């Protein structure tokens, strides 16, 4: 199995953004500014998922 470093970077990015999202949403009641952190984490997850999907579609052609 040959995994490219770019794919590993995207997977690590998804995991880190998910952690940001969870932390932001769990502690949003105590610190309202963490809502922004959660939203940024969610956006980052979308970005990294779209990178993986775009690359997979490009390789399929």
Better-scored residue on pLDDT, 25 or 2:
25
H/E element, 51: helix 34-60
pLDDT bucket at 61, cuts 50 / 70 / 90: confident
Dump pLDDT digits (tens) for 7-38. 899 999 999 999 999 999 999 889 888 899 99
What pLDDT does residue 41 have? 93
Q: What is the mean pLDDT of residues 32-46?
A: 92
User: Looking at the chain, how many residues does it have?
Assistant: 61
Cα separation, 43 vs 40, whole angstroms: 5
Q: Output the CA angle 25-23-11, nearest 5 degrees.
A: 110
User: What pTM was estimated for this model as a whole?
Assistant: 0.81
């Amino acid at each position: 199995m040959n995994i490219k470093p770019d794919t590993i970077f995207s997977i690590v990015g998804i995991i880190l953004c998910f952690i940001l999202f969870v932390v932001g949403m769990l502690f949003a009641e105590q610190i309202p500014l963490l809502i922004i952190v959660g939203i940024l984490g969610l956006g980052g997850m979308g970005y990294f998922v779209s990178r993986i999907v775009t690359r997979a579609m490009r390789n399929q052609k």
